[in-house]
Amino acid sequence: MKKLIWILGYTAIFFLLSCKSVYEKQGDEHLKNGKYLKALKRYQYVQRKKNGTKNFETNLIKAYIGAMELTAQTDPSIDKLLSFQEKIKKLMENVSSNEIQQLFAKSASNISKNLIFSGEYASEEVGFYLLNDAESIPNLSADIKLVISGIKDEYITKNMNDAQKHLTASINGGAEDGEGIIADYILSKTSLFVNPSDAMKELWSQVRKENLSTYLMYDLENLIDNPVPRVNQYGVLLAIRSFIRKGEKVIIQVQAFNGSTQIFKFIGDGFKLIDSEGKKYEPTAKSGSFSNKNDILLGQETEVGQLSFNVPKDLQLTALQFESKGGITIKYLP
């Protein structure tokens, strides 16, 4: 008798768990017909009631993914896409289905392309969030990997071509118009999202050579609209007027411009030379306009100061760093 009651009870529980509500059935039908937003509304009701059956979470994720794709096509609101991304990733923590993971990766990579090439930084940023999420999926299919690498390659190529145009204009006499600054900005922004290719590194070296004696003032009027803060990060800017390297001796003549919000002092001890391994070298000699007494006011340029460094002769040098009350500034070398 007890065994019979147990069997009946188990059967009843199984029946309850396997019996879909009207809302879940409607959601399934909408999902099957590609009506993802309608499916999502039904599934969200089921989610609130906590009465979904066995495959409910999987179908809910599919509805979210489909709704995200549809939204990206019809109303590519950054906030909406980020909301979809966050909810899908949260749901996927409890669903280990490889099918679902590949579906999300495919959808995220497809959506990301239009965002990345939109020309708007905020959209680019969200596009790469999605692309990185797709790339992080375990056992990613070869087809999706190819899509992701293709998007990144296309992004680098497009921005390199744009940067090359501005570099050429600068070399041909447009330096005063800030063409070299624009070229550097394009490459700097590109590097926020993708690792520079060898070709991009070579181009960037040429751009840095052209801009060696230029203050990289990305926020100059009518130069770049709303420069990205992550690129336009330095208040104090450096211009290298002369760079001489003989054996282990490096002599640099440098000036600084105060584009920050506070005064600073142009002090030789504030400089360090950085090599490709990140090692920093203190100046062995300082001369020229370096002084503890002079305050460099806002919008003011210093006189030229000269620095000497002793570094191994075959060492690759990458940057000159200056630290002051205005923060740390990096001037990259060709």
135 shares its domain with 27: yes
3-state SS track over the chain: CHHHHHHHHHHHHHHHHHCCCHHHHHHHHHHHCCCHHHHHHHHHHHHHHCCCCCCHHHHHHHHHHHHHHHHHHHCCCHHHHHHHHHHHHHHHCCCCCHHHHHHHHHHHHHHHHHHHCCCCHHHHHHHHHHHHHHHCCCCCCHHHHHHHHHHHHHHHHHHHHHHHHHHHHHHHHHHHHCHHHHHHHHHHHHHCCCCCCHHHHHHHHHHHHHCCCCCCCCCCCCCCCCCCCCCCCCCEEEEEEEEEEECCEEEEEEEEEECCCCCEECCHHHEEEEECCCCEECCCEEEECCCCCCEECCCCECCCEEEEEECCCCCCEEEEEEEECCEEEEEECC
How far is it, in rounded angstroms, from Cα 193 to Cα 101? 23
Q: Does residue 1 lie within any of the structural domains?
A: no
How far is it, in rounded angstroms, from Cα 92 to Cα 137? 11
| Residue with the larger pLDDT of the pair 5 and 55 | 55
Residue range(s) defining the domain that contains residue 161: 154-233
User: Which of 210, 233, 256 finishes a domain?
Assistant: 233
User: Which of 233, 262, 283 finishes a domain?
Assistant: 233
> What CATH number is attached to the domain comprising 88?
1.25.40
User: Which of 87, 110, 140 finishes a domain?
Assistant: 140
225 shares its domain with 279: no
Asked if 333 contacts 320 with a C-beta cutoff of 8 angstroms, the reply is yes
Q: Does residue 185 lie within any of the structural domains?
A: yes
199 shares its domain with 266: no
Mean pLDDT for 55-68 is: 95
206 shares its domain with 268: no
- Check residue 11 and give its pLDDT: 40
123 shares its domain with 183: no
pLDDT tens for 267-324 read 999 999 999 999 999 999 999 999 878 899 999 999 999 999 999 998 999 999 999 8
pLDDT tens for 177-196 read 899 999 999 999 999 999 99
245 shares its domain with 222: no
- Check residue 292 and give its pLDDT: 79
- Is residue 14 predicted with pLDDT exceeding 90? no
Overall domain count for the chain: 3
249 shares its domain with 321: yes
3-state SS track over 132-162: HHHHCCCCCCHHHHHHHHHHHHHHHHHHHHH
Q: Does residue 13 lie within any of the structural domains?
A: no
Q: Does residue 148 lie within any of the structural domains?
A: no
- Check residue 1 and give its pLDDT: 47
38 shares its domain with 134: yes
- Check residue 223 and give its pLDDT: 93
Q: Does residue 147 lie within any of the structural domains?
A: no
179 shares its domain with 258: no
Asked if 236 contacts 329 with a C-beta cutoff of 8 angstroms, the reply is yes
- Check residue 18 and give its pLDDT: 58
Mean pLDDT for 249-253 is: 98
305 shares its domain with 251: yes
Q: Does residue 119 lie within any of the structural domains?
A: yes
Q: Does residue 86 lie within any of the structural domains?
A: yes
Q: Does residue 66 lie within any of the structural domains?
A: yes
> What CATH number is attached to the domain comprising 315?
2.60.40.1240
pLDDT tens for 92-122 read 988 889 999 999 999 999 999 999 999 899 9
61 shares its domain with 124: yes
Average pLDDT over the chain reads 91
Reading the block at residue 257, the tokens are 């411009």
Burial of residue 196 (CB within 10 Å: 0-12, 13-18, 19+) is: middle
Q: Binning pLDDT at 50, 70 and 90, where does residue 7 land?
A: very low
63 shares its domain with 121: yes
